[in-house]
Amino acid sequence: MNDPRYQDVYEYMKGFLTEERLSKIEKYAEESSDFVLPVLENIYQFRNAAAIIRSVEACGFHKIAALEEENVFNPNTRVARGADTWMQVEKMPKTMSSLQQIRDKGYKILAVSPEKNAVSLPEYELKEPVALIFGTEMEGVSQEVLDFADETLIIPMYGFTQSFNVSVAAAICMYELKQKLLKSDIDYKLSDEKKLAMKIRWAVNSARSGDEVLNHYLKKHNIEAAF
């Protein structure tokens, strides 16, 4: 994203958007953040995948990482209700190497699970970027991921039921952590460079034949895409 022509790319793509859509892109880009990165471990129910995307986007976070093993991350677009238009999904193999790549980007690995002296969500002090790992629907976070994690987080339970559906757990965690950020003095929003890249993606996803339009422009101006 060091090429100064990327701003020109965005200006060009804006010409294919309605005023209403452009206004929304400019508005919601300002609140977007990747300070909390949801990481989904081998989620197999497409309704859960879509519900998680919807909740994450509603909280102003626009990227998730999907660790795939035998299951392909394939959200149901009807359940997502258009949220998938705004989300960037990075699919990665379910390996410790993938988690190490996330850690190397500056994220603390935080597994949502009651093991390892887990910290209660309301009491958790959010001080640095966190990759929040949610496990499979039946088994939760795998042992190898728990062993790799820097810390674990637990959602308090007040009834006989001792676990939430994974999509509900994700919604609770993302909303609670967003509230913590809003009340803090942490600079949690996207950098100008990341924000521009995101706005280009949103414009492309919003325009009719957006990918073709973008690729034609990039080829014509000899620009290499990095977004």
> 155 among the known binding-site residues?
yes
DSSP string, 64-108: EEEEESSS-----HHHHTTGGGT-EEEEEESSHHHHHHHHHTT-E
Token readout for 157 is 């339970």
In this structure, the number of other CB atoms found within 10 A of the CB of residue 74 comes to: 14
3-state secondary structure of 129: coil
Strands 36-41 and 88-93: unpaired
| Cα separation, 102 vs 175, whole angstroms | 22
Cβ–Cβ under 8 Å, residues 198 and 32: yes
Token readout for 221 is 């101006």
Residue 24, classified by CB atoms within 10 Å of its CB into exposed (0-12), middle (13-18) or buried (19+), is: middle
Binding positions are 155
Binding positions for S-adenosyl-L-methionine are 155
